[in-house]
Amino acid sequence: MKTGIFFHPSFLLHDTGLQHPENFERVDKIIKIIKTLKSSSLEHFTCPYVTEKQLCLVHDKTYVDKITNFFPLKKSVSLDSDTTLSPMSLEALLRSPGGVISAIEMVNNNKIKNAFCVVRPPGHHARKSNGMGFCVFNNIAIGAAHAAKSLGIEKIAIIDIDVHHGNGTEEWAENQENFLFVSVHQSPLYPGTGIDLGCSKKNIINYALSPGAGSIDFRQLIVKKLITSIESFNPNIILLSIGFDGHELDNISDLKLISEDYGWVTERICEIAAKCCDGKVISVLEGGYNHRALEESSSYHVAALSKAASM
Ligand SMILES: [Zn+2]
């Protein structure tokens, strides 16, 4: 079977400014490097629009209306100090969660084995009623909610290995039944959450890495803790928030991961998925701001997905 790559050119038009770390060049670099990978197990798909009903599975209607009512927009506006809407942002905002939903449906229907959604803006910091940290709508949470409510998928694991804690996804998941949210992130770091390692909610697990941690610490944590957590939950599908911002070249964090770590962790997650849920993994791009790190890490990530798909 194949690995689906989900992308839409509107993601290049969400204009935060070239000085902004979360700019269009990120996904441009990733898509261009994926196109150089001559794997026969890759197939490219577009991202349809999300519906208002699907957005409201995770966000308040008042917030959805507030965002959509900004458009048509003549001049960029800021939702907070680092989250911007530009005149052409709306299509990207609606096609990012739409792409995640489409990828989940295709994997669930066995049309493809697994998927990588190269979407932006990212989503895992977006909360029920506000955007933050470059995120406006929570792409992966919207996909997860659709998977549970519309597709009837019973047990859903969301793994977040962006270097920042996925606070928005956690807030949404902690009130849901039959979801497991596991985050591996640097702490302390923005947004300052995810430090309660003894979280009272059984379906939320946070694993923090200290500033300066590198490949050995990361891989030990995955092998000794994350794999056991996911396997004992035994999900029917795995959604992965993948951020490449823990890379040693990325100045936004202090972790020292190397590009190969992202291929390695993807292989481990695909192995868990092969045991639990027939290999069903949908990864969704979150952060990652150094272009060389993005190109190399996403190449390793896609190579691992396509290797798993072709087995
Ligand atoms: Zn991040």
Cα of 164 vs centre of ligand 1, distance in Å, is 4
pLDDT at position 39 = 84
Judge contact between 242 and 283, C-beta under 8 A: yes
pLDDT at position 40 = 87
Radius of gyration of the chain from Cα atoms? Answer: 17
Cα of 254 vs centre of ligand 1, distance in Å, is 12
pLDDT at position 197 = 58
Residues marked as catalytic:
125
Cα of 44 vs centre of ligand 1, distance in Å, is 25
Judge contact between 98 and 47, C-beta under 8 A: yes
pLDDT at position 196 = 62
Instruction: Name residues of the chain where pLDDT drops below 50.
Output: none
- C-alpha torsion 191→196→201→204, nearest 10: 60
Tokens standing for residue 193 = 């959450």
pLDDT at position 200 = 65
pLDDT at position 202 = 82
Which residue's structure tokens are 């000794």? Answer: 224
| Domains within the chain, CATH numbers bracketed | 3-310 (3.40.800.20)
pLDDT at position 18 = 86
Judge contact between 248 and 282, C-beta under 8 A: no
Q: Strands 179-186 and 281-285, how do they pair? A: unpaired
Tell me the per-residue pLDDT of 5-42, one tens digit each, with 9 for 90 and over. 999 999 999 999 989 999 999 999 999 999 999 888 99
Cα of 166 vs centre of ligand 1, distance in Å, is 8
